[in-house]
Amino acid sequence: MTNTFNDIEKIEWLEPWFFSGPGLESELYQEVETGHPLFQVKAVAVGRREDNDDVLFLLPDHEPSLAVVHLTWYQENGPEWPYIEFFHSVIDFVEQRMKADNDAFSSTRG
């Protein structure tokens, strides 16, 4: 299932996630190297966490078309970094990742 910007606009963001426009693509491209699943894959940042360096990227020409990447702000050594988690749909991202992150985030805030 290919996701679009229209699908992203429908997300009801839960803390610690928030909508983020493009701007972190160059950092992603600097961190991935040959062998990484996102090497030479077009990616557009669409969301991020306020409490760490996880970024949600839309991958318009890739399946699955959503990925959460933990940026490290470092040129990585090895194709397993930066860490990545793929999602096939916005619903999968919301149900499997954003809601769990929100529960964990809310519990640390009292």
pLDDT one-digit tens code per residue, 11-42 = 999 999 999 988 999 999 999 988 999 999 99
Distance of CA 28 to the CA centre of its chain: 10
Task: Give the pLDDT confidence score for residue 76 in this predicted structure.
Answer: 65
pTM, entire model: 0.93
Q: Which pairs count as long-range contacts for 61-67, CB under 8 Å and 24+ apart, including other chains? A: 63/1, 63/2, 63/88, 64/1, 64/88, 65/1, 65/2, 65/3, 66/3, 66/90, 66/92, 66/93, 67/37, 67/38, 67/43
Task: Give the pLDDT confidence score for residue 7 in this predicted structure.
Answer: 87
The boundaries of the domain holding residue 20 are: 5-108
| Calpha distance 92→46 (Å, rounded) | 16
Total structural domains within the chain:
1
pLDDT one-digit tens code per residue, 49-106 = 999 999 999 999 999 999 999 999 877 667 788 999 999 999 999 999 999 999 999 9
